[in-house]
Amino acid sequence: MITFDEARAFVLAGCARNATELLGLNEARGSVTAQEVVAAEQVPPFANTAVDGYAVLAADIASVPTTLQVTGTVRAGMSGADSPVAPGCAVRIMTGAPVPPGADAIVMVEDTEGSPTGDTVVVTASATVGQHIRPAGDDVNPGDPVIGFGTELTAAHLGVLATIGVTEIEVVRRPRVGVISTGDELVDDGSALAPGQIRDSNRLTLRKLLESHGFETIDLGLAQDDEQVIEAAMLLGAESCDAIVTTGGVSMGDFDFVKVVLERIGDMRWMQIAIRPAKPLAFGTIARSDGTAVPVFGLPGNPVSSMVSYELFCRPGLRKMSGFDDENLDIGIVSGVLDAPMKRRPDGKINFARVVCRWDMATSTYRVRSAGAQGSHQMAAMAAANGLAELPDGPTLEAGATVRVRLLRP
């Protein structure tokens, strides 16, 4: 057996960053930038008011209450140049509107009393120069770097880009991933099960996991235990996908045809890893017709093992292909305190227990509890879990012990 760290390092070394592409802002959320973005415009582009009120000269209202003549109104989208503020005067102004010439402060409408005719206003609170005025360039100025290389684009980032007039951005292309299940025992058409058959849940589960994590998927289908069928599916995947994920056929059985096929058409390593669950893992590449190496993740067939292997090896590898740096290949690792004992026995392996991890505000700690039964075939606990607790080799961990938890969701 090899260590978890050795297996993970081997997988990541075989996952090269994808080429870049230009995406419009509507499609770019979740992608990783392949360029630094520098602003070419000011934000805001002009001085504007942060509140509804009146544009005034601060010197006119040093002593209050003071009555001023109302000489105009400026709304958002108007030019303030048509309503300059002269001494002894005020201009009514709405939030976001440009500050008119001559004004050096804004008085909130709550600090005024208007006349019935609207031609005068009584100001009841004085103001300092610049009060409630957002200067031009208060947020961003030309030449400011606003988004760095290697940034995962969030909605807020896209909003920043929109405010400076950027309509498309160069990003690392996210992988297109082909998913295939193998095995004569699998059924996926909803028909009645014959003796010895089980329903194929892995392919659907993995596709939806991949899609929820921002990857495009191609369903390469369910291949029976036939070398020609499996080889055809693998070669199709290599031509149409950036990576392939398979489940089943990677352990030591006599009928593991996936292994036979990949040994013939790929450059693969078959690993037994000192972890529980998900001990068997195959990883390597298939060369497509243009010579490009397409990573292949051969995950175990047990449903829980398949998902755990995906989280520990496949997802980080695909994130690397998507442009994430080494520090961001996992979405989050936290330390938590066990609410109850977690049973285990010394076996030379790291146990990855499916857990529920929550933030306890009273103690400012993460609290961790088992999500349920931990068998590699028992999906209910996997569905309930939001993390994988790393239980090092050794005896049962008692309540109060600190464990490292790999989060499954942000």
DSSP labels, 346-403:
--SSEEEEEEEEEEETTTTEEEEEE-S---TT-HHHHHH-SEEEEE-SSSPBPTT-EE
Q: Helix or strand or coil: residue 237? A: helix
Mean pLDDT of 310-333: 96
Over 60: is that where the pLDDT of 66 sits? yes
Where does the pLDDT of residue 390 fall: very low under 50, low under 70, confident under 90, or very high at 90 and above?
very high
* pLDDT value at 301 more than 90: no
**Per-residue model confidence (pLDDT) at position 410:** 75
Tell me if 15 sits within 8 A of 245, measured CB to CB. no
Stretch 242-250: mean pLDDT: 87
Confidence of residue 71 (pLDDT cuts 50, 70, 90): very high
Residue 253: burial class (beta carbons within 10 Å; 0-12, 13-18, 19+)? exposed
Mean pLDDT of 273-290: 95
The reported pLDDT for the residue numbered 251 is 64
pLDDT tens profile 339-376: 999 999 899 999 999 999 999 999 999 999 999 999 88
Write out the DSSP string of 87-154: TTEEEEE-TTPBPPTT--EEEEGGGEEE-TTSSEEEE-S---TTTTEE-TTSSB-TT-EEE-TTPBP-
Convert the pLDDT of each residue in 32-49 to its tens digit: 999 999 999 999 999 999
Residue 143 burial class via C-beta count within 10 angstroms: exposed 0-12, middle 13-18, buried 19 and up: exposed
Within 10 angstroms of residue 195's Cβ, the number of other Cβ atoms is: 4
Is 0.85 topped by the overall pTM? yes
Q: For residue 232, is pLDDT > 90?
A: yes
Is the separation of the CB atoms in 282 and 271 below 8 Å?
A: yes
The predicted model gives 394-401 an average pLDDT of 96
Rounded to whole angstroms, the Cα distance separating 27 from 25 reads: 5
Q: What is the mean pLDDT of residues 85-114?
A: 97
Q: Using one digit for the tens of pLDDT, what is the confidence trace for 169-206?
A: 999 999 999 999 887 677 777 777 777 777 777 898 99
Q: What is the mean pLDDT of residues 62-73?
A: 96
Note the Cα 154 to chain centre separation in Å: 8
Structure tokens belonging to residue 87: 């001494």
Per-residue CA distances from 160 to 9, 39, 97, 178, 322 (Å): 36, 10, 20, 34, 22
pLDDT at 253 over 70: no
pLDDT digit string (tens) for 376-386? 888 899 999 99
Q: What is the percent of the chain with per-residue pLDDT over 70, rounded to a whole number?
A: 97
pLDDT reported for residue 221:
85
For 324, the 3-state DSSP assignment is: coil
Q: Within 13 Å of residue 384, how many CA atoms lie on the same side as its CB? A: 15
Share of the chain above pLDDT 90, in %: 82
- Is the pLDDT score of 394 beyond 90? yes
Domains of the chain, each with CATH number or no CATH: 4-18+174-328 (3.40.980.10), 21-41+147-172 (3.90.105.10), 48-134 (2.170.190.11), 333-407 (2.40.340.10)
Q: Do residues 282 and 293 make contact, with C-beta atoms less than 8 angstroms apart?
A: no
Look at residue 254 and tell me whether its pLDDT is greater than 70.
no
